[in-house]
Chain A
Amino acid sequence: MPEPCDLTAHELGDELRAGQASALEATDSCLRRIEAVDERVRAFLAPTADLAREQARAVDGRLAAKDDLAPVAGIPLALKDVLCTRGVTTTCGSRILHNYVPPYDCTPWARLSAAGSVLIGKTNCDEFAMGSSTENSGFFPTHNPWDLDRVPGGSSGGSAAAVAAGEAVWALGTDTGGSVRQPAALCGVVGMKPTYGLVSRYGLIAFASSLDTVGTFTRDVRDCALLLSAIGGHDEMDSTSIPEPPKDYTSMLEEGVAGLRVGVLRDWLGQVPEEGIRARVEEAVIRLEKLGAEIGEASIPHADYALSAYYLIAPAECSSNLARYDGVRYGHRADAVRDVVELNMRTRGEGFGEEVKRRIMIGTYALSAGYYDAYYGQAQKVRTLVVRDFAREFERYDVLLSPTSPTTAFRLGEKTQDPLAMYLNDVFTIPANLAGNPAISIPCGLDERGLPVGLQLMGNHLDEATVLRAAHAFEQDLAQTFRPPLLNSLAG
């Protein structure tokens, strides 16, 4: 019998309701797994074992009382450490917030917590979510459970690795340019970035406000639908939250793909340097066609410029969002300074890592007098062109298909010296952030080295249901389990 920590959330939920398992057992199972593998994987910055057990006991009490519980109740969850949790240290993977204890909960966790979710711990990430490998964490890098010498992707690498390794049953991350989908692809799990504004950003420590979204990591598409249903819907604390009530995304999952119009982004596929990825994605197209989808060719003509626009817009917003870390109200403060300017400069110089500084510098420059129109202003126009590209394609297609990432998991240290090469990792994920569209990455097989390959499906604004339905049909037909070899070596 599998460990509770290796079940999907819906399987575990069924067991909880049937009295075949308890929330505390599930929690302990995850904590044991953390004990067993996290020295090597390093997915967690701080497990919250005591809190998790306390929450699990409360759920077990309600189960015993035959309370009607939400599907998320009792399921061990990991949260990327950019999501604020009241009373639980939230560092954003940064030294500058090493001691920051938020006085409030982010909205997604507030909703999950109210529904009986169990917080197993806060996961590692690239500092302020800036990166594609989790090597930019201010504390330590996370390792890919599929190959400990390789990166888990990023920036939500800790959440992706935790779900892949059974250290949590599911997790939340954030996706600004691919930070959920790319690590999901590299770790062989399902990662979804919803429509911008579907899930509240309140309590998500901002990197780039107009691009940031809260996304999910799960072991299958049904779990993805469950978790998204629990965190989605309007929040009055976020002015960019779309005024739509929460939805149940599981209801349309089984409807299949017959007649669904799927546009394949052929030119993206052509850019992929790795044969393994091209082959798995081509097979996925064939599989969907076999399942009744109408396959066509799609293109986002301005995608080539999207990366450039992104690397102006995101740093510009980040340079402003990160100005508040100044050593005055919370977080790190430099010692022995003579005046406020020195306090600010040294606090930030000491507290931020190199990638964060680099992006603050780019963003500050791009917004400064005389350059705004040339850089930020033009980037926003490119954004309009990308939005139009998507709108045009969604007139003829229900779903757009591409690889999630141009590469599978790369080696630790391989790209750290070349920021531009690292940025190119996000080339297929960034357009959906610029345009605000929902997108999912699901595992579609392994490459020749046995590393997972991610398939990206993108949908129209607020059409998560269709994306999930297509992903579910594909996943069910593929019927492949993605389990890192690391876990096979574990006793019991």
Chain B
Amino acid sequence: MTTVATEYETVIGLECHVELSTQTKMFCGCLNEFGAEPNTQVCPVCLGHPGTLPVANRQAIEYTMKIALALGCDIAPRSLFHRKNYFYPDMPKNYQISQYDLPIGVGGHLEVELGGEVRRVGITRVHLEEDTGKTLHVGATGRIAEAEYALEDYNRAGVPLVEVVSEPDIRAPEEAVAYLRELRALLETLGVSDVRMEEGSLRCDANISARPAGDPEYGVKVEIKNMNSIRSVERALRFEADRQRQALAAGEALVQETRHWDEDKGVTLPLRSKEYAFDYRYFPEPDLAALEPDDEWIERLRAELPELPASRRKRLREHFDLEPEQVRIIGGSAGWAEVFENAFERWNEAGPRMIANWVIQNTMPHASPGEALERIDSIATIMRLVHEGKISLSRAKDLEPLVFETGRPPEEIAQEQGWIQISDEGALGTVVEEVIGENPGPVEQFRGGKEGVIGFLVGQVMKKTKGAANPQEVQRLLRDRLS
């Protein structure tokens, strides 16, 4: 038997679920908030009591339409909710109100940047459905398969959930990560979701297949579930892509199946599937009216769209001339972009790159964009103090969190802490003269070319000023006088 070395291409499509940050649930007036006591944000409707009926939340519909518009989708002139029928105890009605063949948005795209290159990933559809409750599997081992019983909390049941389905346009795990980051930034910019993967407000399943490079036919599709962070998406897809490639290279056939990502073991494992595979028996939800948005409604929502990440990044790159890494970090968040631009507006003598740097290195680690915006004048002041040499960079790094905590003016705190540096040439000059007079030996050595001695002399000046001198300024004066 001869083996022919074949190159394989991985093909990935992502299905992302986004919990919308509406005030109330999709079909009832219960609060949509994370972290409440179990079964306290429930009512007869979302508990699936007999006789109850759903009424759709306008805000959730509009958020979904905005997501669809931001992804360049067409808004369907008529869309319907369908019932997806299957039994699972986290679903109070044992059907999920979802969308089927008439979703709210179809046919868009998302531009994804990877290594400086822009790729366009197609969006198949954007649809709206209701979330399920939360199951706690209880047992000695903590493994679902060995659980003794389960407990249901329906607080999350009925929370509006948008599904964004991509075309199989993604070719590598890193690209999938870039897509997810981009989608998250877009959703954050729209202000429609908290997009926190760890709280489950952004979830992602993937379809992945492999085919010989250049083959127009898709390979056998495997669905991967249970990826709970961007990192686990990357790890899971990398594992699965390798697994598929190796299987094909070894001449093994792949089966169409759903696999579960095991975070601890770092592998994907097949889910036990029964022969009674899912038969969802979709049919139009008779309890809800059709959605038929007119142009006026659609155009109003379109006009309300904020600047989207792609255009924001373009502006940061072209107008502010930020470095690519700065564009990636600041442009990835509507909030931080706003912080950057507001800081720039207030003080920009040192140029945009310095400000971007400051925000990334000094503000991001200790504050949220909202907090930073509240203290934007203080940020500008601190940057100015550093730039003018009135405070050292390391003191400034300590100063900012103090200012944020107390709300007091930066100068006042810096004074109090004794962090204001003496940069005044007259006052420093006298001390410098004194130190030169008192240390003839080192002065000689320096003049003789021993550069390192300058440090000792600066140290002497710092000592005399009890650390209040601006060391850069001291060194400049010393060199001045000794040259």
Tell whether any CB of A sits under 8 Å from a CB of B in the complex: yes
> Which A residues are within 8 Å of any B CB, using their own CB?
82-84, 90, 92, 97, 100, 102-104, 106, 201-206, 208-210, 236-240, 316-317, 319-320, 323-324, 326, 328-330, 340-341, 344, 364, 367-369, 372, 376
Q: Quick one: which of B89-108 are within 8 Å of A by CB?
A: 89, 92-95
- CB atoms of B53 and A238 under 8 A apart: yes
Q: Is B287 an interface residue (CB 8 A)?
A: yes
Output the least CB separation between A110 and chain B (Å). 12
Q: Residue A104 contacts which of B44, B56, B281, B287 (CB distance < 8 angstroms)?
A: B44
- Asked if B251 lies at the interface with its beta carbon under 8 angstroms from chain A, I say no
Complex Cα–Cα for A71 and B93 (A): 38
Contact A106 B87 (CB under 8 A): no
B152→A328 contact, CB < 8 A = yes
Determine if B271 is an interface residue (Cβ-Cβ < 8 Å).
no
Contact of A103 among B44, B85, B283 (CB under 8 A): B44
Chain B 387-407 interface mask (CB, 8 Å, partner A; 1/0)? 000000000000000000000
Q: How far is the CA of A208 from the CA of B286 in the complex (A)?
A: 9
Interface positions, chain B 13-56, Cβ under 8 Å from A, are 44, 47-56
B279 at the binding interface (Cβ < 8 Å): yes
Q: Are A326 and B94 in contact (CB under 8 A)?
A: yes
B86, closest chain A residue (CB): A323
Contact A97:B281 (CB < 8 A) given known A239-B56, A240-B287, A340-B89: no
Partner of A340, one of B50, B52, B150: B150
A-B Cβ contacts below 8 A, count: 100
Q: Name 5 A/B residue pairs within 8 A (Cβ), A-sorted.
A: A103-B44, A238-B55, A324-B50, A324-B92, A368-B281
| Interface of B, helix, strand, loop or mixed by DSSP | loop
**4 A-B pairs with least C-beta separation:** A323-B94, A367-B281, A210-B286, A209-B286
Q: How far is the CA of A368 from the CA of B278 in the complex (A)?
A: 10
Residues of B close to A236: CB separation below 8 A: 55
CB of A206 within 8 A of CB of B50, answer yes
Contacts of A92 in B (CB 8 A): 50
Q: Is the interface of A mostly helix, strand, loop or mixed?
A: loop
Give which listed residue, A208, A237, A329, contacts B53 with CB less than 8 A: A237
* A367 near B283: Cβ-Cβ < 8 Å: yes
Most buried by A among B279, B282, B283: B283
Please determine whether A202 and B94 come into contact, CB atoms closer than 8 angstroms: no
Cβ of B83 under 8 Å from chain A = yes
The answer to whether A84 touches B287 (Cβ under 8 A) is no
**Which residues from 262 to 302 on chain B have a C-beta closer than 8 Å to any C-beta of chain A?**
279, 281-283, 286-289
Residues of chain B touching chain A, judged by Cβ–Cβ distance below 8 Å, are: 44, 47-56, 83, 85, 87, 89, 92-95, 150, 152, 279, 281-283, 286-289
Q: How far is the CB of B474 from chain A (nearest CB, A)?
A: 75
Residues of B within 8 A of A90 (CB): 50
For A368, the chain B residues whose CB sits under 8 A away are 279, 281
Q: In the complex, are the beta carbons of A240 and B289 less than 8 A apart?
A: yes
Residues in chain A near residue B94, CB distance under 8 A:
323-324, 326
Q: Are the CB atoms of A205 and B289 closer together than 8 Å?
A: no
Please, how many angstroms separate the alpha-carbon atoms of A203 and B87 in the complex?
23
C-alpha spacing A205/B52, complex, angstroms: 8
Note all chain A residues with C-beta closer than 8 A to B150. Answer: 340
A residues less than 8 Å from B50 (CB atoms): 84, 90, 92, 97, 100, 102, 205-206, 324
When chains A and B are docked, how far (Å) is the Cα of A100 from the Cα of B47? 14
> Which residue of B47, B94, B281, B289 has the most chain A CB atoms within 10 A of its CB atom?
B281
Q: How far is the CA of A367 from the CA of B283 in the complex (A)?
A: 8
Question: Given A104-B49, A240-B287, A329-B49, list of 11 further CB < 8 A pairs?
Answer: A84-B50, A102-B44, A206-B51, A206-B287, A237-B55, A238-B55, A239-B53, A324-B50, A326-B87, A329-B47, A369-B281
Residues A344 and B87 in contact, CB atoms below 8 Å apart: yes
Q: A209 and B287 in contact (CB under 8 A), knowing A323-B93, A323-B94, A344-B87?
A: yes
Question: Within the assembled complex, what's the spacing in Å between the Cα atoms of A369 and B86?
Answer: 13
Given known pairs A92-B50, A328-B152, A376-B283, the reply for A239 and B288 (CB within 8 Å) is yes
Task: Report the nearest B residue to A235, measured CB to CB.
Answer: B53
Distance, CA A369 to CA B48, complexed state (A): 25
Are the C-beta atoms of B51 and A203 separated by less than 8 Å?
Answer: yes
Whether the pair A84, B51 counts as a contact (CB closer than 8 A) is yes
Complex: A240 Cα to B286 Cα, angstroms: 8
Chain A residue numbers with a CB within 8 Å of B281 are 319-320, 364, 367-369, 372
Whether A201 contacts B53 by the Cβ 8 Å rule is yes
**Residues of chain B within 8 A of A84, CB atoms compared:** 49-51
B55 touching A239 by the CB < 8 A rule? yes
Interface pair A326/B89, CB less than 8 Å apart: yes
Indicate which residue in A103, A326, A369 contacts B49 across the interface (CB closer than 8 Å): A103
